[in-house]
Amino acid sequence: MTSKRLTGLMGGCLAIAVLIAVVTLTDGRGRSAAGPPSQPDVAPAVAVLAPQGSTDPVPSTAGLARVLGPLMREPALGGRVAAAVVDPLTGRLLYGEAQDQPMTPASSAKVLTAVAALRVLGPDRTLPTRVVQGPTRDQITLVGGGDPSLTAQPKPETPYPAPARLPDLAAATAARLREAGVSAVRLTYDDSLFTGPQVSPEWDDGYTVANVAPVTALMVDQGRRQPGERLRRSGDLAESAAKTFAGLLAQHGIRVTSTSRGPAAAGAPTLAEVHSPPVSGLVEHMLSASDNDYAEALARHVARAKGEEASFAGAVRAIRAVLGELGVPTAGLTLYDASGLSRQDRVSAETLARTLALAASPDHPELRAAVTGLPVAGFTGTLDSRFGGEAASALGYVRAKTGTLTGVNSLTGLVRDASGRLVVFAFIADRVPAAYRDTLAPAALDEMAAAVARCGC
């Protein structure tokens, strides 16, 4: 192990220790439901795995071709494989093979969503869920703010970042109602922030059973009847959230006489509100857990910020526009969703690599959560059980977003090579034999990432 790699590993361990101390000793980042909302404690964006100076040698195209070329011919990857390796400090494409070929990215597409959300919304923004006064004193409206983290569960012991909690909203609402002498209300709920179909016609049948919820601006615990379960999501997620809220109000002595869908009155005063973690925290969770619900919700907020309708179509137009504004090549980019679930999505390896390279560059600290949210090889998120065998040399060094669909495996991430240079890579294989999707194909991509890490060439 080189001295630079050892120093990087020790620095990473120190960063983890500091993070654990911060999580243990500080409060969560969510806002209080009672009274005026307080600002979440959001640390300023700082460089994480930022590129070092130009004194670290850049890997050569020939060297990368020597180590990656044979690995791209691995039979388990099938007949079509693309690769791009980019230097985030200079923006140079260091290696490419079929790098401009639009291919099915699977969940690697979430890298695009992450960068668009951080760029347009900013890392510190939070998403509110509110209760507003209705036209009469005994009518209130629960207004969905498109927060995918909203939960009815007890407060976690170490909330990082703390999700908005429906019980807190109910408690604060009940307190305001009691102050006004109101003990019974008619409850309406407003989920109109997002528009268009809730389920993409491009998704396979059955996706909404386990992989993703119908996209709505108002849901609690991602629409699951039992939190933590993947299966059996509620039918009408907004209605389910409203009924849960009504039950919570009852626990505080407020009787709900009726529940119905309806728009909030324009300019209605807010009785109480809770706020999501900052966008940076939402992005980190989305990438680490490959959370489809978070991806689709964040993309609709990007659409609204860019003046598009908050729908599938508006979201993908907005993401493409943001990438273009950042100078990312978008030739051949075709998206039907923000999560990568559609088999019709097409993204080139170079588009993925250059998008992540922006987040890793010193020029865009606002995008840093797109790096810090990436799973760590062998330790966190969707990479917690990856990088065994020949790829084990990269354990703890590689950060990368995985992508998996039937016939598709992808890996988009970054690593410091043996010379200490930070490089970004994107690998896509979208004709993977079915028998290898969950075994040999991801292992082959892991070995490609490990080869880049070992290279120093």
CA distance 384 to 341: 21
Write phi, then psi, for 317 (nearest 5 degrees).
Answer: -65, -40
Q: Please, what is the end-to-end C-alpha distance for the chain in angstroms?
A: 15
Write phi, then psi, for 428 (nearest 5 degrees).
Answer: -135, 135
Spell out where 137-267 has E strands.
139-143, 184-190, 255-261
Active site annotation includes 401:
no
Active site annotation includes 290:
yes
Please identify which of the residues 240, 290, 342, 410 carries the catalytic annotation. Answer: 290
CA distance 421 to 46: 19
Sign of the CA dihedral 362, 318, 105, 375? positive
**Do 306 and 168 touch, CB atoms closer than 8 A?**
no
**Do 317 and 303 touch, CB atoms closer than 8 A?**
yes
Give yes or no for a cis peptide into 161 (omega within 30° of 0).
yes
Please identify which of the residues 108, 110, 149, 200 carries the catalytic annotation. Answer: 110
Q: Give the alpha-carbon dihedral of 371, 374, 377, 381, to 10 degrees.
A: 160
Please identify which of the residues 107, 240, 288, 361 carries the catalytic annotation. Answer: 107
Q: CA geometry: angle at 370 spanning 151 and 84, to 5°?
A: 135
Report the run of H or E that residue 4 belongs to, with start and end.
Answer: helix 3-25
DSSP line for 251-292: HTT-EEEEEEE-PPPTTPPEEEEEEPPPHHHHHHHHHHHT-H
CA distance 394 to 402: 15
Distances (CA, A) of 240 to 89, 310, 429: 48, 22, 40
Identify the CA nearest to 274 among candidates 42, 44, 35. Answer: 35
Q: Write the CB contacts of 138 (distance below 8 Å, at least 6 apart in sequence).
A: 182, 184, 185, 186
- Residues recognised as catalytic: 107, 110, 290
